[in-house]
Every structure is written in structure tokens, then in C-alpha cells.
Amino acid sequence: MVIKILIADDHRIIYESLKPLIDKEHDMEIVAVAENGRQAVKLSRELKPDVVIMDISMPDLNGIEATHQIVKQHYGVKVIALSMNADRRYVKGMLQAGASGYLTKSCSFEELTNAIRIVAAGKRYLSPDISGVVIDESLAPSLEIGSSASITLTVREREVLQLLAEGKDAHEIADKLFLSIKTVHTHRAHIMEKLNIHNIAELTKYAIREGLTSI
């Protein structure tokens, strides 16, 4: 069986580096590349890959939100996070979103292909440095969990928050999410009320801190 792989990363060099190596693997095939989370969700729906290799910090829709949507909407598609960041907030966010694996970009190609095969077989894989983060988290749960965006905000509100933090205005957000401008304003008001934050600068800081955007 050939494992169909979708790569989601806004740095094309990742795809260009991985493609010639994966092409040599007899049981793997890259079927597409997405440059942001929203494309990853769309391509997952259309192509139904076996495994999505997902970066976390991407524009438009981050990897955590994209993973949540893919796992929820496309039964059987597995997600492996491949990120520069090993911070527990990102690890926890990806695992809670439904990712089956997490590796850092410092991993070897051999470890990545091993993880792909393990995850495609229905198991989980965490690189050794990530395993320590998960153990620490289980022993010392976050004190900030009550204020986490994943707990406080709805999926749509988190999408709107990321786009606001990336400098999009209400018209642009409405067009991108197929919403009315009035609905976007309502979401923004709810976000500010729930987070007790009342200006875009502070919302942007919050979105960065929560891993919703990397700018």
C-alpha cells in the first residue's frame, strides 16, 4: 500500500527538500502541498490523503485549527505536526486538535518516514524531545488553561481572531470566510468580550501568545 501524503507548510523549501527523498520511498507518495491551513483542509477533503504533515505557524489558518477541522471532518486522515517549535502550548494544542504525531524540524528524515508509517498504521508517534514535554504537561497541568483560546473561543471566533491579528479588515475577513460584514463584527465583539480585550494590538499579542499566529 502506498501512503498518500499532503504537506502543509508555508515555506516551500520544506516541500522541495522532502519531495526528492520521499519519492525514493517505495511506499510513499506526495499528492499535494498546501501553503496555509485553509488550503490543507480543502485539499484533505478533495484528495483524502493518508497522512498530512502539518506545520503549525501558517498564515490564514494555523496548523492547530487546520488539524482540528481535518480530523473532525475527514475520517481516517492522520496528521503529523512538523514544527520548529517544541513549546508545550503548541504540542498540547496539536494533540488536543487530534494530531497523531509531533516532530520537530530538527528530526532526521529516517525518523520522519518512520513516524509516517507508524501513524498511517493507526498508532501515535512523538519524537523523544516532545515526549518529555507531554510528560511534564501531564504532571503539571497548565495554570493558564482557563484563559486558553481553545477553551474560551469557538472555532469560528479563533479563525476571525487569527485574521484580525494578521491585519485583515472586516471586509477581507467576510470575503475569506464567506460571512456577512455584520457577522464578522459580531464575532469580533464576542471575542473581545470573552477575552476582556478591547483593542487590536492586544488581540494580536494574545493570538501570538496562544499560537494562533506567528507574526
Q: Domain 145-209 is in which class?
A: mainly alpha
pTM above 0.85, yes or no: no
In the DSSP assignment, the letter for residue 158 is: H
**Grid cell for residue 67:** 488539524
pLDDT tens across 11-70, in order?
989 999 999 999 999 999 999 999 999 999 999 999 999 999 999 989 889 999 999 999
Domain boundaries, the chain: 3-139, 145-209
Q: Could you tell me how many residues make up the chain?
A: 215
Shared fold status for 3-139 and 145-209: no
Helix (H) or strand (E) holding 177: helix 170-177
What CATH number should be reported for the domain whose range is 3-139?
A: 3.40.50.2300
Cα 54 to Cα 96, 118, 159, 167, 192: the distances in Å are 14, 16, 17, 24, 29
Q: Transcribe 47-95 into DSSP letters.
A: H--SEEEE-SS-SSS-HHHHHHHHHHHSTT-EEEEEES---HHHHHHHH
Cβ atoms of residues 21 and 29 within 8 Å: no
Share of the chain above pLDDT 90, in %: 62
Q: Strand pairing partners for 83?
A: 104
> What is the pLDDT of the chain when averaged over all its residues?
88
Tally Cβ neighbours within 10 Å of residue 109: 13
